[in-house]
Structure 1
Amino acid sequence: MTRALIAIGVNTYDHVNALGAAEHDATVVFNDLIKPDVGAYEPAFSRLLLSPTLAEVRLAVEEVVLGGVQFDELTFFFAGHGMIQPVGFYMAMRDTRLDRATATAFSLSELFAQIAEASPAQTNVILDACFSGGLAADLSMLTRPETSGYVGSPAVTLLAMSARNQEANEYADGGVGTSALLDCITGRALVREDVGSLELFDIAQVVIQRVRRSGDQNPVLSALNVHRRSQFCRNPLFQARSHSALRKWEPRAFLDAVEPVLASHAHDPLDLIADVERLFGHLIGKADESRDVFKGAELRATAAIALLPYASIHPQISRWLLSQLESLIGVIHRALDEAVEAFEAEKFAMLAGPGGMANLYLLPIRLSKVLGWTGAAFHLGRLIGHEAEFPRDKFKRLLDLIVEHYRLSLASISDAQAPYLALALTALAALDLKEEGEAVLSPLFNSYVECKARIAATSIEPSRIFAYMLARLTDSFAEVQGQVAQPNELGTVYLLAAPLFDLTDVFDEAMSELDPVTINAFVADDHSLFALETIDNGENNPFTIGHYIWRIDELLQHFPPHAFVQPTDPSVAGGAILASLIFPDRVPWFVFRALDQLEVLSG
């Protein structure tokens, strides 16, 4: 495709008052759109003109539009003073005189005449100028019988950032209209997510809404002879509607892409909710069709935590999050049913692919994850008053099947197991499934002691997993020290959970074998920020076994009491639980204290 861009910004005038941001707007639009991964407009056919004279503009337009190249897409952008004359709309250049506007300013009709002659497949005209909506007279150039109605007649989309009788406002760093346009181009504003490229008509709908909200300015959109989709720019928020999108799914990357969209209108909770529902809706639909029974839960949880930072700011978002928790609980319950059915039909249902060495590392984590999501459903239900609906007997059956068929895989492999097991073990205790909890916790802790707590870090490089497993086999960790979790939070989970299953004395005896292992508990100050990649507000609480800590009661005495304080807003507490499931390098310690019957930790 051959694409050309002409961007003009005029700050400096010889006979008219100067402007402050027009050149900046033209420069940013030009620089963004010529990027191959944004607009892919070809620099050889494109021009950036800053405060040009009328002659310079006419020469540039003639060279580009009438240069003998047939363009698939031609975009013309202007930021500067605009004026309406009896014969049409004019753009003021550096040497324009207001008393001779028709002779010294650039006419929109003149541009349209050249477009009609060159007939690009699609032309986009964007005017961020005062009174730019007054272009009705100029449109007649493109609506004459000899230039319209035929195959190949000029297709033109026009976006004027102000109405015929309105001025175009500026922020300190750019025009109001152009700022909204750039938000759409760069992905800070959501246009749509189901197509790989955006046309100006799509973008204009969002620009109009955002500009109208900003004050007394009403953009005008017109389209002539448009008979096919064009490609104004790439869509930075495109998500393919296919199962391959789920195979490539990476929650952190997706949240990083979504965050600027949400931050651009953080003050508007209804828009925030609508954006998240649009961005995640089709992926959730595809996930529900996949064979991975927990994929739909993972997608819904990621959608919920996208808005977690706003839950304590907007009551509407807090209520929306609570409704998502209720929906998510139902999905997890259905996934639990399917998991039990799969186990009963095939005892090796948890093994992935061809099996082999990969399962030695992945299977223990997978088992922890299944238990963690199920335990999370209990905790989420408790937050919204639905704990009585939790399928206790089904959870018990799942545990019995895991212990029966996978006892040797109840092993401590990675620190990523910490949040899953914290949620599962505290749920088991609250449900009075102590025998089942002991059957799970005992082999996990034994495995932890046997490897002397040298479990893999959550950030272990995939290429180093095999080397780590060999180190476990040979008890030689010298070459994989950087891949070992030092300190780790999995040990903290085990020691806090031991009193829940009357295992304190047994674990106390084994702690001498862990000297001088350092365990840790990162405690966040604000759980509404629990889904951020880096949580700045919080503290690490390291405990070295053999240094003040020899028994579990000593750990409890030194453990920060505020770690067990549940957020007062149940939507924030629920969101933090979901964040720990999606990003298992953090543990919501409050689940140990959030259960009224766990009096053992009250001292």
Structure 2
Amino acid sequence: MRKRLCLCVGVPECSDPHLGPLPGTKVDASSVFEALTDCTMGQYDAVESVRLINPSKAEFTRALAQLSYDPDIDTLSIYFAGHGVIIDSVYYLCCRDIELYRAAYSGLSLTELFQIIGNAKPRHTNIIIDACHAAGVAHDVQSLIKPNSLGPANSFGVSILAMSATDQYAHEAPPDAPVQGGYGTLSLLKCLKGETDCQVNKSHLSLDDISKAIDLERDDQSPNFWSFNISGSPQFCLNNTAGVGSSESFIPIPIFEDSDSSTLPLALSEELWKCYLDSKTEVELRELQNCLEKGLFELAEPTKQANFLIGLLDSFTARCSLADDGFATTQVTAVFLFVAQKISDPNVANEVVAFILRQLEGSLEFATSSIHEGLKEDYFLVRGGGGHSEFFSLPIRLTKVAAWSLFYLDLSSGNAVETARRSKVCEAILGALERDYSGSISLVSEEQAAYIIIISSLTKRHGLTEWGERFIGSLYHDYFAHGGRIARTSLALEDTYEFMKYRSLEKEVDFLRFSARPSELLFCLFAHYWNFDQLDVVRYDFSEVDGTHCTTYIPDSYANFSDEVITNGGNLNFQIGHDVFTASDYDSFIRNYISPAVYAASQPPQTMIRSIAICASLIFPDRIPWCAMDSLTADVF
């Protein structure tokens, strides 16, 4: 059996006179050790794990080597409470025998820790530092945590939680406090004991999960976190709040045993590392998907592929939690979901897809709840101070938020109570969009076509047709009010100002610079009215768009609808005034061409595949999820 071992170190006294006593560190190290070795919390081996109080540097490194080189080790967790200092841009942990004037010799740097860990290569290593200036490890992390530094074979993972920023002290509770210890450690212990809900429904917590829930209750101390892992989900401790207060049971984490460690080419590891760093700001989702798919190809074995995706998912979602975009975690999780479909063994793929889909629901729960609360503020959805680009970006954002909210409702698993709860949240969001942003509900981009089909399909499915009629009706009328001047998908931000000027002109000016021809958007607008059995409402409008070419693409299968290039499928086209003259002609085109093609692409009928296809259109809105429309697939689902 693979071992879980921990090393908990507290250094209350240092020989250097410049470093005062820290009596609370002894309590902290002991408390964390007891929690980690408790079978109801950490589940680390209580006999072989080590607790050190006031060790020398040599004693610390000797104990670390003893644990790291255990041939049966799976997870190693290192906890340190004591002084930490930054000297010449290097962060040192201060053991008993530290001498600040020669810290390079007597201090313990992260580099030295990694030399031991990197050579021994336990599957995953967790490092928790509750010391002053702990984020100073960033000076070393940027080079040490990079994949090409994680052992010669890039074969193990590491997570680092620093309880204070580079310019901050790590504070302890005052002597008269009911519970003694460092604020960072006390918050960690609350997560271990289940007193703090980490807002995930997995059976085990990773340090990544805990990092997002750490609350130091101080303005002058904030935690920092880094992680990179390609070897399965790092199970730091049991999740003692999983399933509590929820109608759903916790999510068991898939565990796939490997005979040896996973390895990746250095160039690919560097690409993934770049995506990881970018995920704090704005990761390029297609680039991430391509990198992950390359990883699957390189690893080949399905168990390694599964561990690769599950491990990196933890790292990326923890990083995304720092982003300003509330949907960042959801979008990155969706990309992992798409790639998981390509795991070489179908049984392994299905297990991983089901797991990540549940993770997606959890992140979407958080995102929609944040949107729900945020919409109580004025201009919550306006970005960048409301500059001219928002006249273009905000209408797209509103349509996207509506589609995501409806998708969140659609993912409810048939549980009536849960569906009712989600429906209430969804209706509140949709109502706020209509009430507070009515002047910005307009049609500016082909990108909104996919969202329109999702909104039309899901409002009808979930009994929200009146809202769907009003919202899409506003978009429809805006289309004709501006002469059908719609930007192509992914119009460059620097072109938006010129496009908005062009949109208000009475005559055509260089439309090819901005617009797509033929149009998929007009096709989708008419499809909404077909879906709602209201083609008679728009029957007179066909003459106004005489000569317009409409097109849409339908794949042979929706199984890999997120692929950048979908090679198997075909375009279905018509020209108004040539192939289609009336609303009746359009109805015939849908029934004779679109519906049979969508029906065939939806075989065999799988609700999960349909949900993933809808999600693919939310992430990559250059594709239309016709499979979402029940009117087209009534005989399938």
TM range (shorter): 0.5 to 0.7
Q: Give, as a single letter, the amino acid of the residue that structure 1 aligns with 2:385.
A: P
Query: C-alpha distance in 2, partners of 1:423/1:249?
Result: 24
TM-superposed deviation, 1:472: 0.2
Q: For 1:136-155, what aligned pairs fall within 5 Å after superposition?
A: none
CA gap 1:377/1:246 in 2 versus in 1, 3 angstroms: same
The residue aligned with 2:424 is 393
Identity of aligned residues (%): 22
Superposed CA offset, 1:50-102 (max 9, x none): xxxxxxxxxxxxxxxxxxxxxxxxxxxxxxxxxxxxxxxxxxxxxxxxxxxxx
The residue aligned with 1:202 is 152
CA gap 1:475/1:356 in 2 versus in 1, 3 angstroms: farther
1:593 and 2:625 aligned: no
The residue aligned with 1:7 is none
CA gap 1:355/1:261 in 2 versus in 1, 3 angstroms: same
Query: C-alpha distance in 2, partners of 1:395/1:522?
Result: 30
Q: For 1:546-585, what aligned pairs fall within 5 Å after superposition?
A: 546-559=577-590, 560=593, 561-565=595-599, 566-567=602-603, 568-585=605-622
CA gap 1:504/1:156 in 2 versus in 1, 3 angstroms: closer
State the TM-score, normalized to the length of structure 1.
Answer: 0.58
Q: Give, as a single letter, the amino acid of the residue that structure 1 aligns with 2:529.
A: A
1:531 and 2:562 aligned: yes
Contact conserved, 1:518 with 1:545, CA < 8 A, in 2? yes
TM-superposed deviation, 1:300: 0.9
Contact conserved, 1:305 with 1:578, CA < 8 A, in 2? no
SS of the residue 2:574 aligns to = strand
The residue aligned with 1:460 is 491
Q: Give, as a single letter, the amino acid of the residue that structure 2 aligns with 1:317.
A: A
Moved more, 576-585 or 278-287: 278-287
Q: For 1:315-330, what aligned pairs fall within 5 Å after superposition?
A: 315-330=347-362
Query: C-alpha distance in 1, partners of 2:487/2:443?
Result: 9
The residue aligned with 2:185 is none
1:276 and 2:226 aligned: no
SS of the residue 2:329 aligns to = helix
Contact conserved, 2:558 with 2:613, CA < 8 A, in 1? yes
Q: Does 1 or 2 have the higher relative contact order (CA < 8 Å, sep 6+)?
A: 1
SS of the residue 1:264 aligns to = helix
TM-superposed deviation, 1:391: 1.6
Gaps of 5+ in 2: 1-111, 120-141, 157-229, 232-258
The residue aligned with 1:287 is 320
Contact conserved, 2:409 with 2:426, CA < 8 A, in 1? no
Query: C-alpha distance in 1, partners of 2:581/2:509?
Result: 27
Q: For 1:362-401, what aligned pairs fall within 5 Å after superposition?
A: 362-381=393-412, 388=419, 391-401=422-432
Query: C-alpha distance in 2, partners of 1:194/1:549?
Result: 63
Q: Looking at CA atoms only, which structure, 1 or 2, has the larger radius of gyration? A: 1
Superposed CA offset, 1:446-505 (max 9, x none): 111223323111132333222211100114443241320212222222212114445322
Query: C-alpha distance in 2, partners of 1:157/1:293?
Result: 35
TM-superposed deviation, 1:385: 10
Superposed CA offset, 1:225-268 (max 9, x none): xxxxxxx98942443698754324100111122221111234x3
TM-superposed deviation, 1:323: 2.9
User: 2:335 pairs with 302, 305, 327, which one?
Assistant: 302
Moved more, 489-498 or 408-417: 489-498
Query: C-alpha distance in 1, partners of 2:411/2:351?
Result: 14
The residue aligned with 1:333 is 365
Equivalent pairs, count: 392
Contact conserved, 1:332 with 1:377, CA < 8 A, in 2? yes
Query: C-alpha distance in 2, partners of 1:338/1:200?
Result: 36
Q: Give, as a single letter, the amino acid of the residue that structure 2 aligns with 1:515.
A: D
Query: C-alpha distance in 2, partners of 1:273/1:417?
Result: 34
User: 1:259 pairs with 293, 298, 313, which one?
Assistant: 293
Superposed CA offset, 1:112-170 (max 9, x none): xxxxxxxxxxxxxxxxxxxxxxxxxxxxxxxxxxxxxxxx9xx99999xxxxxxxxxxx
User: 1:247 pairs with 272, 281, 285, which one?
Assistant: 281
Contact conserved, 1:194 with 1:241, CA < 8 A, in 2? no
Contact conserved, 1:419 with 1:584, CA < 8 A, in 2? yes
Contact conserved, 1:379 with 1:387, CA < 8 A, in 2? no
SS of the residue 1:539 aligns to = strand
Query: C-alpha distance in 2, partners of 1:388/1:572?
Result: 20
Which segments of structure 1 move beyond 4 Å, counting only runs of 4 or more? 155-159, 232-235, 240-244, 382-387
Contact conserved, 2:402 with 2:455, CA < 8 A, in 1? yes
Superposed CA offset, 1:536-573 (max 9, x none): 11101112222232344422322322343235233332
User: 2:464 pairs with 429, 433, 446, which one?
Assistant: 433
Contact conserved, 2:450 with 2:624, CA < 8 A, in 1? yes
User: 2:534 pairs with 500, 503, 510, which one?
Assistant: 503
The residue aligned with 1:486 is 517
CA gap 1:363/1:530 in 2 versus in 1, 3 angstroms: same
Contact conserved, 1:381 with 1:390, CA < 8 A, in 2? no
Query: C-alpha distance in 1, partners of 2:581/2:426?
Result: 34
Contact conserved, 2:395 with 2:444, CA < 8 A, in 1? yes
CA gap 1:205/1:373 in 2 versus in 1, 3 angstroms: closer
Query: C-alpha distance in 2, partners of 1:326/1:292?
Result: 21
The residue aligned with 2:447 is 416
Superposed CA offset, 1:4-45 (max 9, x none): xxxxxxxxxxxxxxxxxxxxxxxxxxxxxxxxxxxxxxxxxx
SS of the residue 1:246 aligns to = coil
Q: For 1:514-529, what aligned pairs fall within 5 Å after superposition?
A: 514-529=545-560
Contact conserved, 1:369 with 1:420, CA < 8 A, in 2? yes
Query: C-alpha distance in 1, partners of 2:418/2:403?
Result: 16
Moved more, 413-422 or 244-253: 244-253
Query: C-alpha distance in 2, partners of 1:331/1:157?
Result: 32
CA gap 1:239/1:511 in 2 versus in 1, 3 angstroms: same
Moved more, 240-249 or 482-491: 240-249
TM-superposed deviation, 1:586: 0.2
Gaps of 5+ in 1: 1-151, 160-191, 211-216, 220-231
Query: C-alpha distance in 1, partners of 2:442/2:297?
Result: 41
CA gap 1:288/1:275 in 2 versus in 1, 3 angstroms: same
Q: Give, as a single letter, the amino acid of the residue that structure 2 aligns with 1:255.
A: Q
Contact conserved, 2:143 with 2:149, CA < 8 A, in 1? no
Contact conserved, 1:193 with 1:279, CA < 8 A, in 2? no
Contact conserved, 1:564 with 1:592, CA < 8 A, in 2? no
State the TM-score, normalized to the length of structure 2.
Answer: 0.55
CA RMSD of aligned residues (A): 3.7
Contact conserved, 2:279 with 2:319, CA < 8 A, in 1? no
Contact conserved, 2:405 with 2:429, CA < 8 A, in 1? no
Q: Give, as a single letter, the amino acid of the residue that structure 2 aligns with 1:590.
A: C
